[in-house]
Structure formats: C-alpha cells, structure tokens
Amino acid sequence: MEKGKNVEVKTNEEDLRMKLRRLRQEIQESRERRIEVEIATAVARAANAALDEELATKMARYAIMNEETVAMRKEHDVFNNDISTRLQKIREKCSFFNQEANNGPEDTHLRATEEDTGEELSIGLLSRDGGKKRTRKSP
C-alpha cells in the first residue's frame, strides 16, 4: 500500500507543480496584458490631451475672429448710416433727386422708335444711271 500511496502522492505533487506553473504563467500573461493596457491607455490619454489642446486653440481663434467680425459689422453699420445721412442731406438740398427717373420726353421709349410714321425716305443710290436720287417707301 505504501507504494500506491507513494505513487499517488507523487502524482498529486506533480499535478500541483503543473497547476503552480500554469498559475505562474497565467499571472505572467495577465501582468503583460495589464502593461499593454496601461501603455495603450497612456497613448490614448496623450492623444486626447493633444486633441484637447488643438480644440482649445481653435476655440480661441474662433473667439478672436468672432470679435473681429462683430467689430467689422459695427463699422459697416456706422458707414452705412453715415452714407444714408449724407444722401438724405443731398436729397434735401437738391430737389431734382426726388424726381422720378422716367420723367423724360415721351418719344424716347421703345415703341416710339418702332412705329411706322408713313413718311417716305429719300435715299441717294449710286447706280449706272448717273447716281440720281430715288425715293423709297420705308418698310
């Protein structure tokens, strides 16, 4: 029986040693994985910090541009008000600016030039018969 117990103890001992090796291996692998995760986390944090810095820079630039835009709009409004005031003063001084733009002679519109007046036009034509003037009715 002693031999059986001895063999059984040895197998138990070997099983325990193998389990201990596996546990040590698993511990080592989990340490390596933890280190990899820590490195990846550090890289991600660094990238995040860089993006935060870039965002802060862009936001500062945007704020400056926004202030400049507001200032330019104010200048533009002042300029427009100044021009409007000047034009109003000119209109008050000169009454002809208040007249309608189409107050010209009646014969200047397009229909007056297109109408047939029925008059005959005298056109001098050069020909072989000595350049005598001939009259021709307008189309």
- If pLDDT is split at 50, 70 and 90, which confidence band does 12 have? confident
What's the pLDDT tens digit per position in 65-105?
999 999 999 999 999 999 999 998 888 888 766 565 555 55
Please tell me whether residue 123 adopts helix, strand or coil conformation: strand
What's the pLDDT tens digit per position in 37-62?
999 999 999 999 999 999 999 999 99
What pLDDT, on the 0 to 100 scale, is given for residue 93? 85
Per-residue pLDDT for 22 more than 60? yes
Is residue 137 within 8 Å of residue 123, measured between CB atoms?
no
For residue 59, the one-letter residue type is M
Sort 130 into a burial class: Cβ within 10 Å, 0-12 / 13-18 / 19+.
exposed
Helix (H) / strand (E) containing 118 = none
CA dihedral 94, 96, 98, 104 (to 10 degrees): -170
Residue % of the chain over a pLDDT of 90: 53
